[in-house]
Amino acid sequence: MKGETQEEGRFKFLETGGEDRETLMLLHGLFGALSNFQGIIDHFSKEYNVVVPLLPIFDLPIREVAVSGLVEYVEEFVEYKGFDKIHLLGNSLGGHIALLYVLANQEKCASVTLTGSSGLFESAFGTGFPQRGNYDYIKKKTEDTFYNPEVATKELVDEVFDTISDRNKAIRIVKTAKSAVRHNLGDKLHMIKIPTLLIWGRNDIVTPPLVGERFNELIENSELHWVEECGHAPMMEHPGKFNDILARFLVGLRDKGDS
C-alpha cells in the first residue's frame, strides 16, 4: 500500500503526498479500514494526493458518537490540512458523511463520489445490538456484503467479529447506525450542485440498486454507473472496474476545467 499512516494531533490518516496534486479524500464505512481502499490508493496515488482520514468511530466521547460528530471531525481535518477543492469519495457510512460535508462545505469540494452510500436507506446489521459472540452470524453478515462471499476473507471476518465482540465498540456501532437512520437526506440532496459520481453494485443488498437510482434522481449533476455481480463495496470486489469508472470521471472534470 502506498504511503504510511500518520498521526498529527488528534488526527490519524494516510496521505500519499505529491506537490501541486489534486486531493482525493476517501471516507470509510462503519466497519471500514484502510485496506478497503487499497486498490484506489495504489492506482490513484500516481496522479493525486490520496488521503484517508481514520474516522474516530471508536474514539469520540460517547456523547458525541453520531454522524454529526464524524462530519465535524472531517471538517476539522480538512481545515487543519488546508485542503481546497477536494475530490471526496465515500463508501457506505463514509458516503453519508461525505454528503453531509458537501452540504455544509460545497465551496471546498470539486466533486463527490458515492458507492453503496447510506443517507436514504440501508440495511446492514440494523440498529439493534449485534449478536456478539456468534461467529457464524458475523461471518454470514460479512459475506452478505459482497456478491462473491469469498471476498469476505477470514482476516476480514475476524476483524469484524473482534469489533462486534468489544462491548464498547458494539455500543458505538449501534449509536452511529441509529444516528445515520435519523439523518435521512432525501429532502436536502437537491442542494448538491457539484459533479457527483455514483458507483453501485448491481447486487448490493445493504443499499440496494433502487437507492443508487434515487440518489441519481435527487442529485441534479450526477451520473450513475453499475458494477455487475457486485455487492456493497465495489472498490473491494471489482477494483479494476471501479478505478476505470472513477478515472474517466476525474479526467472528464479535468478536461472541462482546461477547456
pLDDT digits (tens, 9 = 90+) for 211-243: 999 999 999 999 999 999 999 999 999 999 999
Return the C-alpha cell found at 201.
453494485
37-59 pLDDT, tens digit each:
999 999 999 999 999 999 998 88
pLDDT, residue 19, reads 78
Q: What is the pLDDT of residues 139-164, one digit of tens each?
A: 998 999 999 999 999 999 999 898 88
φ, ψ at 251 (rounded to 5°): -65, -40
Predicted confidence (pLDDT) per residue in 80-111, tens digit: 999 999 999 999 999 999 999 999 999 999 99
Q: What was the pLDDT predicted at 123? A: 67
What single letter denotes the amino acid at residue 32?
G
Is the pLDDT at 6 greater than 60? The verdict is: yes
Tell me if the domain spanning 5-121+183-258 has CATH number 3.40.50.1820: yes
Q: For residues 117 and 184, is the Cβ–Cβ distance under 8 A? A: no
pLDDT of residue 124: 54
The per-residue pLDDT of the chain, averaged, comes to 90
C-alpha cell read off for 146:
459482497
The grid coordinates of residue 44 equal 490513484
